[in-house]
Structures are given as structure tokens and as C-alpha cells.
Amino acid sequence: MAKLFEKLNEIESRYEELTAQLSSPEVLSDSARLQKLAKTHAELSTIVARYREWKKIERHWTEAKQMTIEAVDPELKQMAHEEVRELEERKAKLEKELKRLLLPRDPNDEKNVILEIRAGTGGEEAALFAGELFRMYSRYAESQGWRVEVLNSSPSDLGGLKEVEASILGDKVYSKLKYESGVHRVQRVPATEQQGRIHTSAATVAVLPEADEIDVKIEAKDIRVDTFCSSGPGGQSVNTTYSAVRITHLPTNLVVSCQDEKSQIKNRARAMRVLRARLYEMEQQKQHEQIAAERREQIKTGDRSEKIRTYNFPQNRVTDHRIGLTLHQLDAVMDGKLGALVDGLVAHYETERLNKELSDAA
């Protein structure tokens, strides 16, 4: 805790310096510098306000604690004890918030995402599960006020999804869904099983921050665009018009296809969004590889090959293996009520990041 408050004192001192600079004639006459300092000042204002609130409560707590020792009147002593308990609760809540505010912000947290779900081992059962996962995320997105836009999908024979790519747009989507990437495992009796045996199947989920054009620049010479007839549901345009688009990024050999729209122009635009997100992720992975070994544990949370969660239908149970969280509310989770899982993961990894930051500062 000493390191925490040392860092908070440094931030408060920096905030006071900025406050003084913002009123100086030298800064006021330089609009570019004024804008830069004002932005930094605004970013620090919330944490400084919370820290000053904590210090005020700390002073009151010290006074109340002293009163519990010095008071002679039993009723007054009891009131002092109650005030101490109340102030300790408020202090603990503020300390938790201060720890969260100290964490460096992930620059991708504000971004929309490209969600990719693919059926893994398990054949048709895996495809059915992939479809249910997509419905789960769609329901959760709806509860958050986000918008889901299917970019590309490939249905299976029994109504599941071999794969689906969708854009999810809204407020801070990546900050909530970034820990969903990985292998999701399902245990249940498939509809195709005649003897009632429980099978294990899997689907992979990838959550990519949607990159802007300024994040990833794609040169026209670096892509090859092929068109072909779409397949699957789509009415008269299926197998009659070359509306489906396949884009190959030549430097990386990445291939993206899109056929859900009847318009070739729309399919091309959607495919470019997916390609841009994948290239952005590849660039991030390169940067991650350059980070020291002791920091790679954090990055592992996005590893798609890692089995992160098990959905056990016979026991109505879902378990997230990374944080050891088990809920016996699988039916609610599959209906999009992901709050407990999402919030638990965010809290866990924020705590890990904070501990890492504080140990690095030691």
C-alpha cells in the first residue's frame, strides 16, 4: 500500500504543477501546448479528486478512532465505533477504485470488435455449439446497447454455424469482450446421440479490436481480390451472380471471404474490415513478442489455443478455468447473461496488472 500512495502523491503533485502552468501567460499564449496540458490535466483530475476524498476520510477515521479510546460516555464511544466501521468501508471502496484508476489504459478498450467463432472438434455438435455461442454474445451485446452486424457466416446442415464473423459496435466493446478469446468447450448429450452418452466438443472464439484506416494502412498493390458465386441461403442471387468476395493479403498470405450481402461492393467493404482487424492483431502480436518474458503471462489470456471455459449442460454449470469461477447458471449464461463472467475476468486481470505495475515500480 505504501507504493500505491507514493504513486498517488506523485500524481497529485503533477496535477498541481499542471494547474499552475495552465494559468501562466506563457502557456495561455501557446494554443498547442495549452491543449496538450489541458488534456493531461483532465485525465488526472478524476484520480486526484478520489485521492483527496480518501485523504479526507482518512483524517475523519483517525479522529473517530481516537474518540473510541478517549470517550468516557458509553453512548459516545459506541457512536465513534460505528463511525469507524462506516469510514473503513468507504476507505476500502475508494482504495479499490484508486487501484483501478492507476492502471494504464488499454488503447484498444474504446474500440468496436470483430468477433469470430468457428466450430472446432466435434463435427455437427461443434457447429451447433458455435451457433449457440454466437446467440449468447448477441444477447449480451443487446443487453449492453451494442449493435451486432454479421459480416460472414457459414451454416451447417443441422442449423448450426461452421463459422461466423460479426462486427459488434458500441461503447467500450473491446474492454468487456477482450478476454473471451480462446477455446470454449461444451459437455452434453448431442441431439444426434442415440445412447445418451455425454460428448465433448469445442468452438474457438476470437475477439479482435476493429482497426481504423489510420491504424492499418493497406496498399492496393498488396491485395488480390477474387469474386465468386455465393453459396447457401440468399434467394435468386445464389450461384448466379459473382457477389461473393475473397481478398488475399499478399505480404502475409491472409485470406478473407465475405458472401452474406448480395452486393459485391458491400461484401468487399466488409471483408476489408475483417482483414484490417486481423492485420492489426498480427502487428500487436509482434509487439507482444518483443516484451520481456516476465510480462508474457498477461498476453497469454488472448491465446486462442488455450481452453478457457467449459459449458457443462447436464450440471447446468459453466466454469472459467483461468480464474476458477464456476456458476451453476448455464441456462442464464447461454441466454446472454454474461455479467458475472465478464466482470470477474476484468477484475482479475486488472488486479494482476496493478500488482505487476507496483512490483515494477519497486
- Which letter does DSSP use for residue 221 in this model? G
Please say whether the beta carbons of 102 and 4 come within 8 A.
yes
Task: Say which CATH number the domain at 72 has.
Answer: 1.20.58
Q: Tell which of 73, 102, 131 closes a domain.
A: 102
Does the pLDDT at position 83 exceed 70?
yes
- Would you call 206 helix, strand, or coil by DSSP? strand
Which of 95-109, 123-137, 147-161, 282-296 is the least confident region? 282-296
Given this model, what pLDDT does residue 295 score? 36
Query: Where are the alpha helices (H) located in the chain, listed in sequence order?
Result: 2-22, 25-28, 31-70, 74-102, 123-143, 173-177, 264-289, 296-299, 330-334, 339-361
Task: Say which CATH number the domain at 179 has.
Answer: 3.30.70.1660
Report how far residue 35's alpha carbon sits from residue 20's, in angstroms, rounded to the nearest whole number. 15
Q: Is 25 inside any structural domain? A: yes
Span 182-231, pLDDT tens digits: 999 999 988 766 677 888 999 999 999 888 766 778 888 988 988 887 66
Q: Confidence band (pLDDT; 50, 70, 90) for 299?
A: very low
Report how far residue 74's alpha carbon sits from residue 123's, in angstroms, rounded to the nearest whole number. 73
Give the amino acid at 236: Q
- Would you call 249 helix, strand, or coil by DSSP? strand
Average pLDDT over residues 163-171: 94
Q: Confidence band (pLDDT; 50, 70, 90) for 139?
A: very high
User: Are 36 and 63 in a shared domain?
Assistant: yes
Q: Is 107 inside any structural domain? A: no
Q: Confidence band (pLDDT; 50, 70, 90) for 292?
A: very low
Please say whether the beta carbons of 288 and 260 come within 8 A.
no
Strands 317-320 and 307-312, by their bridges, are antiparallel
Q: Tell which of 263, 287, 311 closes a domain.
A: 287
CA 226 and chain centroid, separation: 33
Looking at the chain, the whole-number percentage of residues with pLDDT higher than 90 is 50
Given this model, what pLDDT does residue 163 score? 93
Q: Is 305 inside any structural domain? A: yes
Residues belonging to the chain: 362
Does the pLDDT at position 289 exceed 70?
no
User: Are 205 and 326 in a shared domain?
Assistant: yes
Looking at the chain, the whole-number percentage of residues with pLDDT higher than 70 is 88
User: Are 167 and 271 in a shared domain?
Assistant: no
Domain count, the chain: 3
Query: Residue 156 phi/psi, 5° resolution?
Result: -95, 170
Which of 119-128, 257-266, 269-278 is the least confident region? 257-266
User: Are 135 and 18 in a shared domain?
Assistant: no
Q: Is 14 inside any structural domain? A: yes
Q: Is 65 inside any structural domain? A: yes
Average pLDDT over residues 325-351: 94
Question: Whole-number mean pLDDT of the chain?
Answer: 85
Please say whether the beta carbons of 54 and 5 come within 8 A.
no
Does the pLDDT at position 293 exceed 60?
no
Report how far residue 24's alpha carbon sits from residue 258's, in angstroms, rounded to the nearest whole number. 56
Does the pLDDT at position 34 exceed 70?
yes
Q: How many C-beta atoms surround the C-beta of residue 77 within 10 A?
A: 15
Span 45-77, pLDDT tens digits: 999 999 999 999 999 999 999 999 988 888 999
Does the pLDDT at position 269 exceed 90?
no
* Reported pTM: 0.67
Cell of 196: 445418451
Q: Return the bridge partners of 164, or none.
A: 117, 153
User: Are 202 and 124 in a shared domain?
Assistant: yes
Given this model, what pLDDT does residue 214 score? 62
Task: Say which CATH number the domain at 275 has.
Answer: 3.30.160.20
Q: Is 150 inside any structural domain? A: yes
Is the Cα dihedral 51, 54, 60, 66 positive or negative? negative
Does the pLDDT at position 100 exceed 90?
no
User: Are 224 and 207 in a shared domain?
Assistant: no
User: Are 55 and 94 in a shared domain?
Assistant: yes
Average pLDDT over residues 170-180: 94
Report how far residue 103's alpha carbon sits from residue 360's, in angstroms, rounded to the nearest whole number. 13
Does the pLDDT at position 294 exceed 60?
no
Given this model, what pLDDT does residue 228 score? 81
Q: Tell which of 56, 81, 102 closes a domain.
A: 102
Please say whether the beta carbons of 334 and 136 come within 8 A.
yes
Q: Look up the domain containing 60 and give its range.
A: 2-102
Given this model, what pLDDT does residue 232 score? 54
